[in-house]
Structure 1
Amino acid sequence: MLTAILTGFLFSIFLVFTGRFFKGKLSILASLIPLGLFVYFFQFIPAIADGNVIMKSYEWIPSFNVDLGFKLDGLSLLFSLMITGIGFLVFAYTSSYLKGHEYMDRFYGYLASFMGAMLGLVLSDNMITLFVFWELTSITSFFLIGFNNTNPASRKSALTALGITGIGGLFLLAGALLLNNMTGTYSISEMLTMSEAIKSNEFYFLAVLFLFGAAFTKSAQFPFHFWLPGAMKAPTPVSTYLHSATMVKAGIYLLMRFTPVLGGENIWNTTLVIVGGITMLYSAVHTIFRTDLKGILAYSTISALGILVFLIGLGTQEAFLAAAVFIIVHALYKATLFLVTGIIDHQTHTRDVTRLSGLNKIMLPVGIAGILAAISSAGIPPTIGFVGKELTYEASYHSESMVIFLMIAIVLTKIFLLYAGFVAGIKPFTGKLPEEHANTKAPGFILWGPPLLLATLGIVFGVAPFIIESSLIKPVVEALGADASEMHLALWHGFNLIFILSLITIGVGTALYFIIKPSEKLEKGIARLDFIAPENLLEKFNALFVGFSNFWTNFFQNGYLRNYISIIILFLVVLVGYIMIGNTNFTIDYNSLSKITVYEITTTMILIAGIFYTVFTDSRLAAVAAMGVVGLSICLIFVFYSAPDLAMTQFSIDTLTVILFVLVLYKLPKYLKLSDYKTRVRDGILSTIFGLIITTLALQVLAEPVSKEVGNFYAANSYIEAHGKNVVNVILVDFRGADTLIEISVLSIAAVGVFGLMKLRLKMKDRRRYADTSLNVENENKKK
């Protein structure tokens, strides 16, 4: 399985060196990759149908209990077949749709990487592995959505999609870490055996919240749905692949995979029913107000995803069965309609449904595919869509509570989706052909073959649902923790309430199609409510956040180093001071301290005088010399306390620093007095308080009992292991080698910077302008 997952990524790398061969007639050969993978997964159908689960594990990061664990059961097999099967058709379709495109090889690389990421996602049995592939789908989809990178709208859509799904990725990682904390494992299979323990854990609600955040953002649930219509800026093959069978269903997969682990509780089921119900009805209504074919399909996709979340939330065996069937139903008809829309756009150069009609006269096979897909979308027999719709109604009818509200919501949703399917799949091909499309050419087989095949499968599976019953549907239901032995798919369930609701749906939806015509007037009407749309509300919040960030940055990051240091010290003073005030056990044993000598008092007075002179002098050279006095005073203190090695180091560094300062200051303009007396007093008070806190901390440390374990360790091992007689040197060189190396690196970088400043040679014009600016600043300060 690992090889199957990596195939897409390896093919992308292969294209880096051989991409030029996949820009012409040979481009169709790229479709052999997903076709081969489809055949590979297809062979597992008999074993999975018999109830087997295939597990593979490869060691990755054993110290963190993270491995490359993969699991192939009914759920992952269904998604793998959709990813590779529809992927094969999309790859083949692309060879004609993007024929002659300059970056076709790049597109195939993105598409193959995305396919590999999706396979890794649905096959992963380890939460960290799942997260890695989850993020890879977001990254690769970013490149696919923004493929037309010269278009600002495409770039914005790609960034929006990446931002929303990226936030979901953070939620998933948090959920993975929390579940690991609760169970001690990242293995999803092992979590299945701990379901009751997880549900009784105090962090159960938080874990559910994190997984909801990941699933809702990825699968475009309200109010995170707006990234999906924006993603329609991508080429049609991307829209087909990402929004019918793969990326947008990743969140659905996550919810289905964790239903046996976290499902069954009110917080899980009720939330999914509410969020799914709002999403499916809200988005279905939106399809009425769109005139762009991709826009209609985008909102109908969001609605379909809402239906799946709604069914998972119901949590019954019937609901799981309906969800499993509807996944296939939606993948078949939605992929068909997207491919048909792409053909229409490719041949007529428009997706405006108000300008499209009568195209059956030009592209009959495409029209047949569109009409069949529309019929399946509407749930009209003998399509598999009819089977899925009846199962959905039945699951809603047998729900435990709020049956009437749930039935009204799902029936209204199906009515609007029928309307959307008819507008996208039937309207462009019926009626009179407009003159502007009279010279439109018929597409080739590579374009119309894939959608016609998918639409035909929607009829075949409807007439003979037993083809997918035992091989695909039942294993999915069993993977969700339900008993599927007594479940059977049939086209005819008898004349009952569910069938009557189906007839009402078909009748009302068809009437709606003939009554309401897509128009710009309707689209402009709904646009008036954009000010309360989630996307606009998020943009307003983003604008406020950017404004606050600018204020915060300009206030704290104002370009003055002294302000940065003051803020850092103030923060430490408040934090450490608060901790010290709350520490009631703080004591200082003054008797344990050594007596103060006259040498120490004299040296300290010289040090203080040097500090004051540094702060208040108007001469740079005098300030540097005074700083040297401070450094030499510290050297003497080290000598008094028997640390000659530190004294020599301090002496060397201080001398070097003084020399470098003099060399640098020699190249700078005249001294600028940029701070007034009040500022210096403020900084003096702050530094004094900080010094007192550090002194107090030092005294407290001295009062603590001395532990000699560390010292004894170094003394005992410095000669034996490091072959050094000087313990301090051994610690610096061997035991703290990395730290010393970093310090040397910092000094080297600083030296390079100083050398660069010394070698700086400004042009005469720049020197004069800089000198004039400095003089003006100095004059302003004098006026103040």
Structure 2
Amino acid sequence: MLLAVLSGFIVCLLAPWLTRSLGDRANWVLALAPAALFVYFLGWVPEIAQGEAITVHYPWIPGLEINMSFLVDGLSLLFALLISGIGTFIIIYAGGYLHGDHRLPRFYAIMFAFMGSMLGLVLSDNIITMFVFWELTSITSYLLIGFHHEDRNVRWLALQGLIVTVGGGLALMAGLLMLAVAAGGEFTLSGILAADGIHEYPFFIGMLLAILFGTFTKSAQVPFHFWLPNAMAAPTPVSAFLHSATMVKAGVYLMARLNPALGESELWFYMLGIFGALTMLTGSIMALRSTGVKAILAYTTIMALGTLTMLIGIGTEGAIIAAMTFLLAHALYKAALFMLAGALDHETGTKDVTKMGGLRKLMPITFIAACVAALSLAGLPPLFGFIAKELMFEAVLEAEALTTFLAILAVLSAIMIVTMAAVFALRPFLGERKETPKTPHEAPLSMLIGPVILATLSLIFGLAGFIPAAALVQSAVGAVYGEPIAVELYLWHGFNLPLMMSIAAVVLGLVLFWKWDAVLALFKRLTFIDRFGAERGYERFMDAIVAVAEWQTRLLQNGSMSNYLITIVLTIVGLTGWTLLVHTDTPIPLGVLDFNVYEAVIAALVVAGALFASVTSSRLGAVATLGIVGFGIALIYVLFSAPDLGTTQIMVETLTVILLVLVLFRLPGFINYSAPATRIRDAVVALSLGGLMTLLILAVNDVTVTDPISDTLVEWSEPEGHGRNIVNVILVDFRALDTLGEIFVIGLAAIGVYAMIRFRAEDKAK
């Protein structure tokens, strides 16, 4: 299992070399890796179909209880099969689509890293390792979206996707850690799903919102949906893989995975139900106003992600069955449609469907495959997409709340998706032949084998869905619902309300297709959608971040060292002082202190020296009084049984005074830069910090949280360190690496000083 998960990263390292060595055959050879993974995961189906869940553990950081743990159940196996199976066709397809591109070796390397990251995400049982793979999918998808990095706009769009998904990932990390705490310190998903009392966790709402923020950004739910269509800047093989089986399905996967633990909450239902339905409708509307073949498919993906989120939120048996069926159906037809869209773009030189026409005779295989896949997208029989849509309508009608709201949005979305499926399948191929930038012809075998097989599977699963698909769906449903559920998939459910809803959607969708040109003209006049949409909100948010950064830079980072020190000191005094005085019950002894007269005299000399150094205008006087402060502290060390520290302090102070005196003659005289009010302010700030430190020391002396470590160090000093001087043993043995680091710093500084001296001497010689 570990080798299977990490194989993507292994092939990532070998892919550039293999691509250069094998030339045009590289895509077929490299596709053997995901094909082998598909066969491997396919071997798990009989066992997992029995309802079993298998965990595999490999130690990683045992001290922190972080292991490379993997969970194989119906849900993770379904995703693993989709990732590896569709990934096989994507690698083959990429060789034809990017044929002759000198960046193809780099593309394969990043693609396999992306594939490995996604496999690790869906198979991980430990939430820490899952989060690592979660972030790796964001990073690798950023590299893939920005593949054409020489284009500034592409770089901007790739960065947009990275910021949105990684920002959500930070919230997800906090939510997962809280989830582990709520589950009694359990960091495995299998343990969390079996834990009791998660809903009684005091911060359950905050935890749930943090997790959903992470999943919503990843799976492009409203209002974070805008990044996904912009990810179309990536090459078509990336888009096909990202939209069908990876990246955007990661959020859906995590919501499905956590449904048994979080699904009983009303907040879970309303958040997923409402946002999922709004995303479903938004994707459908945005698809209706698009003319680019990839843009149309991107917005229909948003529709599908919203549908899946809504169904998981509804959470009934029928809804979970519908969700897993829809997940499988969408992966099949969406991968096929994206690869066909790439074929159209590759062979015609344009992505705009309004500029295509009459391609049926020139690209017959593409036309047939597009019709089959589009029928599944539209939810028409006998395709598997029809079964999924019928189940979705049934689940919406059985929702415990918001039934009418969800049903209306589902029908409206279905109408518009039928329209866009017809646009994709018919507009480029039927009608009069239109001139295109390239002379169109049928795409090569590498670009057709994938969509043809996937479209055929949509047809086979629709005609005989109860044979190959039901076992996969049933085991996945059991994992999401939390208990085994019998699943039977039928193409014909009889005359019922869901069928009437489907017929209405098809009829109205075809009418809308007939008037599609008028709809496009209407949308062009509705410019407020772009002016006030979510993407414009993102742009304003980023502008606000820059404005705040500029403001705080002018205020806090203005080049004045005194302002820096004042800001740091006041922050420490404010936060620490407030906590000490308000939020702690620690007594602060302010009574008569037990001290000797000579100790008071030394303390008075130190204070007097510090005050004189602060107010004097004589450089020599300031240096002398600072020396008094240093030697006074050295005497304090000696009086409190630290002669070695005292000796060190005397040596440092002596050397410091000598160096300062030698430098004084080269410095200009004091200049009075500060007004009296400024000096008073500085004095208040300094006294505040000094007073806080005094209170902390007095408070700490009366608090014992644990046994002092000094007792242990005294006990270990002679037998472990073979020395009676405890300080020396600490420095040489117990803190050896720290001391070595300090010696290294001093040595480095000495080398720097020596280099500057030699440099100055050479300049004088010249």
TM-score normalised by the chain length of structure 2: 0.92
Match of 2:487 in 1: 487
What's the offset of the Cα at 1:64?
2.3
Which residues of 2 match residues 607-756 of structure 1 at below 5 A? 607-608=609-610, 611-612=613-614, 616-617=617-618, 623-624=622-623, 627-639=626-638, 643-658=642-657, 661=660, 674-698=673-697, 710-752=709-751, 754=753
Q: 1:383 to 1:572 in 2, by over 3 A?
A: closer
Give distance in 1, aligned partners of 2:640 and 2:63.
46
Kept after mapping to 2: 8 A contact 1:607/1:629: yes
| Aligned-partner Cα distance in 1 for 2:628–2:290 | 78
Partner of 1:190: 191
Q: What corresponds to 2:510 in structure 1? A: 510
* Secondary structure, aligned partner of 1:186: coil
Quick one: distance in 1 between partners of 2:331 and 2:304? 10
CA shift for structure 1 position 86:
0.7
SS in 2 for 1:222: coil
* C-alpha displacement of 1:248: 0.8
RMSD between aligned alpha carbons? 3.0
Shift of residue 14 of structure 1?
1.7
User: Is the alpha carbon distance of 1:312 and 1:297 closer, same or farther for their aligned partners in structure 2, counting shifts above 3 Å?
Assistant: same
**d(CA) in 1 for partners of 2:435, 2:702:** 96
Q: CA deviation at 1:559?
A: 1.9
Preserved CA contact (<8 Å) 2:15 2:30: no
1:72/1:242 CA distance change after superposition, 3 Å = same
Distance 1:663 1:451 in 2: 82
Q: Quick one: which amino acid aligns to residue 53 of structure 2?
A: V
With 639-648 and 181-190 compared, the bigger mean Cα shift is at 639-648
Structural mapping, 1:99-118, within 5 Å: 99-118=99-118
Q: Could you tell me how far 1:668 is from its partner in structure 2?
A: 7.4
Instruction: Specify the code of the residue in structure 2 equivalent to 1:474.
Output: Q
> 2:317–2:485: 8 Å Cα contact kept in structure 1?
no
**Identity across the alignment (%):** 41
Is residue 81 of structure 2 the alignment partner of residue 87 of structure 1?
A: no
The alpha-carbon deviation at position 13 of structure 1 amounts to: 1.4
Distance (whole Å) between structure 2 residues aligned to residue 699 and residue 383 of structure 1: 78
Aligned-pair distance for 1:598? 8.8
CA contact (8 A) 1:291 1:523 kept: no
**1:564-601: CA deviations, max 9, x gaps?**
22222233333454456556833234252212479637
Q: 1:761 to 1:181 in 2, by over 3 A?
A: same
Q: Report matched runs for 1:41-56 at 5 Å.
A: 41-56=41-56
688-697 or 544-553, which deviates more: 688-697
Deviates more, 1:707-716 or 1:379-388: 707-716
Secondary structure of 2:99 counterpart: coil
Q: 1:633: Cα distance to partner? A: 4.4
Instruction: Work out whether residues 291 and 352 of structure 2, in 8 Å CA contact, stay in contact via their aligned partners in 1.
Output: yes
**CA shift at 1:706, angstroms?**
14
C-alpha distance in 1, partners of 2:604/2:14?
75
Q: 1:185/1:645 Cα in 2 relative to 1: closer, same or farther (>3 Å)?
A: same
Amino acid at match of 1:365: I
CA distance in 1, matches of 2:664, 2:425: 76
1:292-331 paired onto structure 2 within 5 Å: 292-331=292-331
What's the CA shift string for 1:528-578, capped at 9, x where partnerless? 332321121122122122211221122112223233222222333334544
Judge conservation of contact 1:610–1:629 (CA < 8 Å) in 2: no
Distance (whole Å) between structure 1 residues aligned to residue 578 and residue 741 of structure 2: 33
Q: Is the 8 A contact 1:588 1:700 kept in 2?
A: no
Query: Which piece of structure 1 moves more, 158-167 or 54-63?
Result: 54-63
CA offsets per residue over residues 461-494 of structure 1, 9 Å max, x none?
1111123344212111222236666532111111
2-side partners of 1:246 and 1:230: how far apart? 17
Would the alpha carbon gap of residues 46 and 714 (structure 1) be closer, same or farther in structure 2, given more than 3 Å must change?
closer
1:362–1:442 CA contact under 8 A, matched in 2: yes
Identify if the C-alpha distance between structure 1 residues 724 and 538 changes in structure 2 by more than 3 Å, giving closer, same or farther. same
Counterparts of 1:12 and 1:671 in 2: how far apart (Å)? 64
Which residue matches 2:123? 123
User: How far apart, CA to CA, are the structure 1 residues paired with 2:706 and 2:508?
Assistant: 84
1:35 aligned counterpart, secondary structure:
helix
Q: Which amino acid in the other structure matches residue 56 of structure 2?
A: K
Residue 631 of structure 1: CA displacement? 3.0
Q: Could you give the per-residue CA deviations for residues 110-140 of structure 1, whole angstroms, max 9, x where no partner exists?
A: 1111111111111112211211111111111
Indicate conservation of the 8 Å contact 1:22/1:104, yes or no.
no
Gaps of 5+ in 1: 765-784
Q: Secondary structure at the match of 1:592?
A: coil
* Distance change >3 Å, CA 588–CA 673, structure 1 → 2: closer
Contact 2:60–2:68 (8 Å) recurs in 1: yes
Partner of 1:780: none
**Structure 2: which 5+ runs fail to align?**
none
Q: What is the rounded CA distance, in whole Å, between the counterparts of 1:467 and 1:439 in structure 2?
A: 43
Q: Cα–Cα, structure 1 residues 327 and 623, in superposed 2: closer, same or farther, change >3 Å?
A: same
| Secondary structure class of the residue paired with 2:225 | coil
Equivalent residue runs for 1:275-286 within 5 Å = 275-286=275-286
Deviations 1:135-178 (A, max 9, x none): 11111111111111111122112111111111222232222211
Question: Structure 2 matches for 1:136-285, cutoff 5 A?
Answer: 136-183=136-183, 184-194=185-195, 196-285=196-285
Instruction: Name 2:61's counterpart in structure 1.
Output: 61
Distance 2:314 2:366 in 1: 37
AA of the residue aligned to 2:650 = F
State the 1:643 CA deviation.
4.3
2:333 maps to amino acid? Y
User: Is the alpha carbon distance of 1:269 and 1:598 closer, same or farther for their aligned partners in structure 2, counting shifts above 3 Å?
Assistant: closer
Is contact 1:118–1:133 with CA below 8 Å preserved after alignment? yes
Residues 666-695 of structure 1 show CA distances to partners (whole Å, capped at 9, x for unaligned) of: 887887665455433432333234334444
Measure, in 2, the Cα distance between the counterparts of 1:491 and 1:298. Answer: 27
Structure 2 CA distance, aligned partners of 1:703 and 1:42? 66
My pick for the range that moved more, 49-58 or 142-151, is 49-58
State the 1:612 CA deviation. 3.7
Structure 1 507/180 Cα, relative in aligned 2: closer, same or farther at 3 Å?
same
Once the 2 structures are TM-superposed, how far is the Cα of residue 697 of structure 1 from its aligned partner?
4.6
Structure 1: how far apart are the matches of 2:166 and 2:603?
61
- Give the equivalent residue in structure 2 for 1:550: 550
Distance 2:566 2:368 in 1: 74
Structure 2 distance, partners of 1:664, 1:518, is: 83
Greater mean alpha carbon deviation, residues 245-254 or residues 673-682: 673-682
1:301-353 Cα shifts (integer Å, max 9, x gaps): 10111011111111111111111111121111111111111111111221112
TM-aligned CA deviation for residue 748 of structure 1: 4.1
Check whether the contact 2:613–2:623 (CA below 8 A) recurs between aligned residues. no
The residue number in structure 2 matching 1:592 is 594
Deviations 1:197-248 (A, max 9, x none): 2223333333322221121111110011111011000000000000112111
The answer as to 2:568 corresponding to 1:568 is yes
Larger displacement relative to structure 2 (526-535 or 157-166): 526-535
Distance between the aligned counterparts of 2:85 and 2:712, measured in 1? 64
Give yes or no for contact 1:663–1:758 (8 Å, CA) kept in 2.
Answer: no
Residues in 2 aligned to 1:707 and 1:445: alpha-carbon distance in whole angstroms: 72
Instruction: Report SS of the residue matched to 1:333.
Output: helix
Cα deviation 1:513-540 (Å, max 9, x = unaligned): 1111288745533443323211211221
1:345-356 aligned at under 5 Å gives the runs 345-356=345-356
Of stretches 583-592 and 696-705 in structure 1, the one that deviates more from structure 2 is: 696-705
- Matched letter for residue 190 of structure 1: G
* CA deviation profile, 1:372-424 (whole Å, cap 9, x unmatched): 11111111111111111111111112223333322211111111111122222
Counterpart AA for 1:336: A
Q: CA offsets per residue over residues 723-747 of structure 1, 9 Å max, x none? A: 1122332233333434433443444
Whole-Å separation in 2 of the counterparts to 1:707 and 1:433: 84
**Higher alpha-carbon deviation: 66-75 or 627-636:** 627-636
Check if 1:6 corresponds to 2:3: no
TM-score, normalised relative to structure 1: 0.90
TM-aligned CA deviation for residue 254 of structure 1: 0.8
Matched letter for residue 253 of structure 1: Y
Change (3 A) 1:159 1:756: farther
Paired with 2:668 and 2:144, the residues of 1 have a C-alpha distance of: 53
